[in-house]
Amino acid sequence: MGQKIVLLVVGLAVGIGVGYVVAGGVGTESSPGKESASLETRIADLERAQEAGASRIEELESELEVNREALRQVNAEKERLATRIEEMEAAGPVEAGPLEPEDAPGSEKPAPTYEDLAKALGKLEGSFQEHMFGRDEKLQKEIEDLFAKASPEDVEKMLDQYRDADNLMAKTVLAHFIGMSHHPAALRVLEETIRDPEGNVLDRRAASHGLAFSGAESAKPLLRELAKENPDRGTRANAAFGLYRMNDPEAVDLYFKATDEAFAEKDPVAVAYLGGLSLMDDRALPAARERLKKYENWQAKVQLIMFIQGRKDKASVNLLTEIARDESQNPAVRKAAEDAIKTIEK
């Protein structure tokens, strides 16, 4: 369909070009040879434009397919988690067992096993959203200690679980988990996933998420490289967010460059790239206000307004008032602006 539209536009353009050349010959002394050469040049230019347009359509269709697959995987994982929650609720509350006695002075705890790592993963999985929005330092320390003391074989088993994960949500949770470990082998696996020339976009996005939430200083050079140069916008946004968590001065600009490109190119999941915004602070407010004026997508506008509302940004009140009064805006956007004003002016 996209190629047919390009061909139709090109056909109209050729017709207009021919009409222009013919009209230009009326009442002039220009030679037929020059007119013919000019027409051939125009036709050649239009053919090149047609080829470029067809190539771009193929690229966009490929990106769309990748994003459709990501959405399918996320929906499948949501269904799995919903089923798991129902099963846990049906089973009823779990009674706490007896507390284990404190280790005797001088005694050494046995080295953690793969099963201990899996239990820590279960804790993270059970509170994944909460951990993303409010880092659990106790769990962070527990995971670091477990990986540091576990045998290389047990660590490798957990890394294999990450490698073998077959959907985006599971892969992202595992990348987050092994990233939190700061274990050299784990960070190396995430880097290998990102640099694999035969890897797919979704795996790279999950790995970049893991590095972004690792907070490991050793990951900073790669995150900076990804945020500036990676062709995938989702990967760039993840990496830029990781830099933001490390207080990199370029992070906000790099983050919004990725989202700007996504909305300009009509990326069907562009709104998802704004997910990290809710975890940012006042440093991102000027850029958020600028995008609120610039973006046309109503869901993006709502997300930006909610961020501004959460920060109680008084500098945004005039802009929010304009949006709330603008009848051309989506009703959800106007309502979000009204709610944000009420919150800020309390």
User: Does residue 17 fall inside a structural domain?
Assistant: yes
- 135 or 139, greater pLDDT: 139
Residue 138: per-residue pLDDT: 83
Residue 322: per-residue pLDDT: 96
Q: Which residues of 19-42 are buried (b: 16+ CB within 10 A; e: fewer)?
A: eebeeeeeeeeeeeeeeeeebeeb
Residue 201: per-residue pLDDT: 87
- In the predicted model, what is the mean pLDDT of the chain? 79
Q: Looking at 280, 305, 335, which one is the last position of a domain?
A: 280
Q: Are 170 and 49 in the same domain?
A: no
User: Does residue 91 fall inside a structural domain?
Assistant: no
Q: Are 145 and 227 in the same domain?
A: yes
Q: Are 239 and 120 in the same domain?
A: yes
Q: If you average pLDDT over each of 40-44, 213-217, 266-270, 324-328, which comes out highest?
A: 324-328
User: Does residue 343 fall inside a structural domain?
Assistant: yes
Q: Are 127 and 242 in the same domain?
A: yes
Residue 132: per-residue pLDDT: 64
282 pLDDT above the threshold of 80: yes
Q: Are 118 and 208 in the same domain?
A: yes
Are 238 and 246 in contact by the 8 Å Cβ rule? The answer is: no
Q: Are 144 and 267 in the same domain?
A: yes
Q: Are 56 and 39 in the same domain?
A: yes
**Interval 66-95: pLDDT, tens:** 666 666 665 655 565 556 556 555 655 544
Q: Are 276 and 286 in the same domain?
A: no
CA distance 198 to 194: 10
Q: Are 261 and 128 in the same domain?
A: yes
Residue 315: per-residue pLDDT: 96
**Interval 114-123: pLDDT, tens:** 898 888 888 8
How many domains does the chain fold into? Answer: 3
User: Does residue 98 fall inside a structural domain?
Assistant: no
Q: Looking at 248, 263, 280, which one is the last position of a domain?
A: 280
136 by DSSP, 3-state: which?
A: coil
CA distance 43 to 12: 12
Q: What letter would DSSP give residue 113?
A: -
Indicate which CATH number applies to the domain containing 270: 1.25.10
Q: Are 267 and 289 in the same domain?
A: no
CA distance 204 to 259: 17
Residue 36: per-residue pLDDT: 66
State the pLDDT confidence band at 9, using cuts at 50, 70 and 90.
Answer: very low
214 pLDDT above the threshold of 80: yes
Q: Are 218 and 142 in the same domain?
A: yes
Which residue from 142, 219, 209, 197 is spatially nearest to 171, judged by alpha carbons? 209
User: Does residue 265 fall inside a structural domain?
Assistant: yes
Range of the domain at 46: 2-23+33-64
Mean pLDDT of all residues in 308-312: 94
Q: Are 173 and 227 in the same domain?
A: yes
Residue 298: per-residue pLDDT: 95
User: Does residue 60 fall inside a structural domain?
Assistant: yes
User: Does residue 93 fall inside a structural domain?
Assistant: no
Q: Looking at 251, 280, 309, which one is the last position of a domain?
A: 280
254 pLDDT above the threshold of 90: yes
Residue 50: per-residue pLDDT: 78
